[in-house]
Amino acid sequence: MSFDAITEDDLRQVGSVKWTRFPDTIGMFIAEMDFGVAPAITGAVCDAMTEGFTGYLSQPTAEALKAATARWHAEHYGWDVPVDDVRLVADVLVAYEFAITTYTSPGAAVIVPTPAYMPFLSVPLRHGRRVIEVPSVEVDGRWTMDLDAVAQAFDDGGELLVLCNPHNPLGTVATRDELLAIAKTVSDAGGHVFSDEIHAPLVYAPAQHIPYASVSDASAEHTITATSASKAWNLAGFKCAQLILSNDASRAAWDADGGWAGHGTATIGVIAQLAAYTAGEEWLQEVTDYLDGNRHELAALVAEHLPGVRVTMPEGTYIALLDFRETGLTGDLGEWFREHAGVSMTDGAACGEAGVGYTRFVFATPRPIMREAVLRIAKALESRAAA
């Protein structure tokens, strides 16, 4: 597909939040792609509309997606997930809430390595839990979890660790040794893990996605895993995700809840994700190759046009952090760049204290648009320096 040919006008006409919330700016603040959807998904959704399949979700359709999810994990990640352990939910945040209510007690803390996906910091508060932020550590241009700080957070009342792998917004794809080290830290503390693996299909070689619950019996026993086709196939608005249970405690919690956490899963979302997992791999590979080019292009553009700004190379996802700390910019960087550059990014402070001085930049957009965004940022910084 000719992704480069997609224009800003095309994207504004579609009318998504990414391109309408801040009119006349380039949208780089929401984690969705600007490449449309796979033909297989379009076909499946159109067929469903033609056939009038718009009612409540049927059991056979739900079971088909559960089986496709299990098959995808077996074939791509080497994790043999029993089909009966896959549950359908509306989105990953519903799964997060289920993990919070299953694995933590009122007043306990959820441990969130930061910078983090913004709702990971806000959702626990809605359930009467505290949040302990654990700043991540950058080593040789790669972000990793500070396990000593995580262990201390468990000692300070943490009961659930949020693991985002591949990481949003750091772009890190954890290695097996890193996952085993996390599992030991959590097991030693008697804690639990919510593993958000929604970006798992979007990993760049030589990195490989390894499901956290698959690395050991211990990790399986203390984890609830959430995943979805929504990021990799651009289906965020279709309200469908998968929760993978790997221990008796989470299975019992689901049964005790009567499966209520699955309420709100959209029939059309199930149809779309079934098409993604069963017939969307060729499109995914094309998109991943293009995004691989984008991440390298972004690094080159930052190096050439943004002196004093740094970006770490993402190993997965289509999200990068731009480090503006050396520029002296303070306050809400998202607002500043919207006003002065016409580029909409997420202020890093929204991702936790460790994100202050950064912006979150979504590079899942046509390359000409990405280049224009960087050039606008450069011009704004130059004007500020000359003032």
Q: What are phi and psi of 49, to 5 degrees?
A: -65, -45
Amino acid at 331: G
pLDDT at residue 12, rounded to an integer: 95
- H helices present in 280-366, as ranges: 281-305, 333-341
At 271-321, the pLDDT tens digits run: 999 999 999 999 999 999 999 999 999 999 999 999 999 999 999 999 999
CA 262/CA 243 separation, integer angstroms? 9
Smallest Cα–Cα separation from 168: which of 292, 36, 348, 325? 348
Q: What pLDDT is attached to residue 148?
A: 98
151 is written with which tokens?
A: 């262990």
pLDDT value at residue 277: 98
Compute the Cα dihedral for 140, 179, 245, 205 and give only its sign. Answer: positive
Roughly how many angstroms between the first and final C-alpha of the chain, as a whole number? 43
Whether the per-residue pLDDT at 205 is higher than 80: the answer is yes
At residue 41, the 3 state secondary structure works out as: helix
Check whether 338 has a pLDDT greater than 90. yes
| Residue 237 clears pLDDT 90, i.e. is over it | yes
The CA-atom distances, in angstroms, between 54 and each of 44, 216, 260 are 13, 41, 21
Q: Is 211 exposed, middle or buried (0-12, 13-18, 19+ CB in 10 A)?
A: buried
Report the C-alpha gap between 243 and 245 in whole angstroms.
7
Q: pLDDT tens digit string along 240-259?
A: 999 999 999 999 999 999 99
Q: 113: which 2 tokens? A: 């390595």
> pTM score > 0.95 for this model?
yes
Task: Quote the CA–CA distance of 323 and 169 in Å, as a whole number.
Answer: 12
CA proximity to 373, closest of 335, 346, 348, 344:
344
Spatial contact of 306 and 378, defined as CB atoms under 8 Å apart = yes
Cα-Cα-Cα-Cα dihedral sign, residues 42, 44, 47, 49: negative
Give how far Cα 211 sits from Cα of 109, 119, 224, 240, Å.
24, 22, 11, 19
